[in-house]
Amino acid sequence: MNYTNPPAIILGSGGNGLGVARSLGRRGVYTIVITDKINSHEMCSRFIDKKIYFSGSDESLVEMLITNSALHQYSPVLFPIRDITVSAIADRLAELKKIYRIGMPDAQIIKTALSKTSFDRMALDKGFPTARTFTVKNFSQMDEVSNQVLFPCILKPELRSNEFLNVASAKAFIANTAKELKDQYQSFAMASPEVVVQEYIPGGEEQLYFCFQYYNRDSDPVVSITGRKIRQWPPICGSTSSCEVVNIPEIENLSTRFFKSINYFGPCSTEFKKDPRNGKYVFIEPTIGRTDWNNSFSEGNGIPIPFIAYCDIVGLSIPNFYQKRLKYRWVRWSADYEAAVYQLKKGDLTLFDWLKSLRPPIVGPIWSLDDPVPLLSSYFSRIQRKLFKLLN
């Protein structure tokens, strides 16, 4: 096949992969998705031109990208969508850059920022406030830390690896006692022993702020959009279930200062939490080497970060994009329903305030007027499952 411009290879599906495919496909970029979920409803998108099934590890995926010459023609642009894939790419970044176009900084920068421990040290060295962090590699160290940390605290994997994801019930955990902390660690330590224990910053998810950005090769920010979480699910340690645009120059300035200080190149994001005790923004974590999984938030508000990244990486002129005057909220409906019900039962949310937070316009990870089949496919699958239960 002949391309006017290089194709894009998206390394994974899910909401992030679908968002990237739509951002590129809407603007005429030929998209190839490599995934082990070839039959998922996200893969029904009309903006995915080619699907390749691959079920191996991320390391073997990178090996396949290097050795499969059929993928090398036209020097495609790579878009990883998971941290573990970004890490595997960083391990062989020099080899991959001879074949593909990749929006990433030096491999060492990636590895440092992906590690919870080394990121904490780097952020502190650069003057950013972070939550107090303890590194744990075994049960003995966990015993020591449980006697030092203040409760409640947060337990996270050092790197969100496949081994961790295969056994853990959440991406992070909150512990209110030493026993809870040890029990949670016990639940996945055999598969993923290296973790961090972090101070819990008080305040609800509405105190969590983020900034989505893209940086060119000169480490200059090309676009930025800031926002605030409305709710997340599961509570405290979950993923965004709803968020909104909030223009906070301090969040953008902090993000820009951090990424410029590490000579960053590519798409990225940051998350901060406002500490009610002193009003400071505490640096929670960066997203490095990829778009955030709810990248359709920026797309819906007029800033198509994946396409902007594509244009810059390929060397095309970047069209002017501006935030929409009418701000779109981003809602993941099923998760936000769970989050709202939880808060309603606790008395932290009223029905009026919940409905008010869902007022249009709204964009989401799956539903799109110009690409309805993924959502229709998910509804069809749910109906099938319910009918199967009724009949059996």
Q: Could you list the mean pLDDT of each consecutive 10-residue stretch along the chain, which spans 392 residues? A: 84 96 98 95 97 96 97 96 97 98 98 96 97 96 96 94 84 95 94 95 95 98 98 92 97 98 98 96 97 95 98 96 94 96 96 95 95 92 81 78
Q: Record the pTM.
A: 0.94
| CA–CA separation, 309 and 388 (whole Å) | 44
Q: Buried b vs exposed e over 125-164: b needs ≥16 C-beta within 10 Å?
A: eeebebbebbbbeeeebbeebbeebeeebbbbbbbbbebb
Ordered domains of the chain (ranges, CATH): 8-103 (3.40.50.20), 132-199 (3.30.1490.20), 205-363 (3.30.470.20)
DSSP SS3 for 17:
helix
pLDDT of residue 49: 98
| CA–CA separation, 366 and 368 (whole Å) | 7
Which ranges in the chain belong to alpha helices (H)?
Answer: 14-25, 58-67, 83-91, 93-97, 107-114, 116-125, 139-146, 162-167, 178-186, 249-261, 296-300, 305-314, 333-346, 351-357, 373-391
pLDDT of residue 2: 53
The DSSP secondary-structure symbol of 42 reads G
**CB-side exposure of 87: number of CA atoms within 13 Å?**
16
| CA–CA separation, 153 and 199 (whole Å) | 5
C-alpha distances in angstroms, 100 versus 60, 75, 314, 384?
17, 5, 10, 41
pLDDT of residue 166: 85
pLDDT of residue 293: 87
Q: What angle do CA 297, 314, 50 make, to 5 degrees?
A: 70
Q: How many CB atoms lie within 10 A of CB 320?
A: 5
